[in-house]
């Protein structure tokens, strides 16, 4: 069945470190992929989305790359700040409708210390 | 500003009791969703709706009912609450095209004792 896998449950960094979070997906065809960010006490919000048409997306200093060959979708930021501490969710919208909403990964908690 | 609001923000219920979680959106979106968030599981879809009067089962609907009386409002109902339903619940809205962004509310923390 369709699934989204985030292996990294927790990432701990210092300010100005490089952030890399990987996500892999399983579905038929090439879905639209998303990264959502959830700050403490808030609901998730869209960080960026990428389709196969453009392969990359960027927002607020974050960049995401869609690799059809390895069915992976990773998020990176060159120099993280303490305000980037949050939970990051990879999500997928399958090609077929089937009544589904987005399929989310289990989330990666990023903690950045000053 | 368009927004999704949820009430209550925190709720303590007793096992076997009835719980209703409410969601209101001013985005004028057709689609609305209820998710629960649990450590190790991320966000899981409980019910969703295409518009007023419609409700559909998501991935984990057992023990939950939903009601969409209007475009703006979408409720999640636990008729007989159990401790396993202790979680954080998020409501979201989205336009009819599934490929576009979903807007989430701030969440409701439910504890069932």
Note the pLDDT tens digit of each residue in A77-114: 999 999 999 999 999 887 775 445 788 999 999 999 99
Q: Helix, strand, or coil here: A98? A: coil
- Neighbour-count burial of B20, counting CB atoms closer than 10 A to its CB (0-12 exposed, 13-18 middle, 19+ buried): middle
- State the Cα–Cα distance between residues A27 and A94, nearest whole angstrom: 7
Contact across the interface for B31 and A32, Cβ inside 8 Å: no
- Chain B residues near residue A44 by CB distance under 8 angstroms: 43, 90, 104
Residue of A nearest to B33 (CA): A101
Which chain A residues touch B if contact means CB-CB below 8 Å? 6, 9, 32, 34, 41-46, 49, 89, 93, 97, 99-102, 104-107
Query: Any idea what DSSP says for residue B36?
Result: E
Digit-by-digit pLDDT tens for chain B (113 residues) are: 659 999 999 999 999 999 999 999 998 888 999 999 998 888 999 999 989 999 999 989 999 999 999 999 999 999 999 999 999 999 999 876 655 678 999 999 999 99
The backbone torsions φ and ψ at residue A82, rounded to the nearest 5 degrees and listed phi first, read: -55, -35
């Amino acid at each position: 069945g369709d699934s989204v896998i985030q292996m990294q449950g927790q990432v701990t960094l210092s300010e100005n470190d490089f952030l890399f979070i990987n996500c892999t997906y399983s579905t038929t065809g090439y879905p639209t992929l998303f990264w959502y960010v959830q700050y403490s006490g808030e609901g998730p919000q869209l960080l960026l989305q990428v389709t196969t048409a453009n392969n990359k997306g960027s927002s607020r200093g974050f960049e995401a790359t869609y690799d059809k060959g390895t069915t992976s979708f990773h998020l990176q930021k060159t120099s993280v700040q303490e305000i980037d501490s949050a939970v990051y969710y990879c999500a997928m919208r399958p090609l077929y409708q089937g009544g589904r909403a987005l399929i989310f990964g289990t989330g990666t908690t990023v903690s950045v210390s000053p | 500003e368009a927004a999704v609001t949820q009430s209550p923000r925190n709720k303590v219920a007793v096992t076997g009791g009835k719980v209703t979680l409410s969601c209101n959106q001013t985005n004028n979106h057709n689609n609305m969703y209820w998710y629960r968030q649990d450590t190790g599981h991320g966000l899981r879809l409980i019910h969703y709706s295409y518009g007023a009067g419609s409700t559909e089962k998501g991935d984990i609907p057992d023990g939950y009912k939903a009601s969409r009386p209007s475009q703006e409002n979408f409720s999640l109902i636990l008729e007989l609450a159990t401790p396993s339903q202790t979680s954080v619940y998020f409501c979201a809205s989205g336009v009819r095209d599934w490929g576009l962004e979903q807007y989430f509310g701030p969440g409701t923390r439910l504890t069932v004792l």
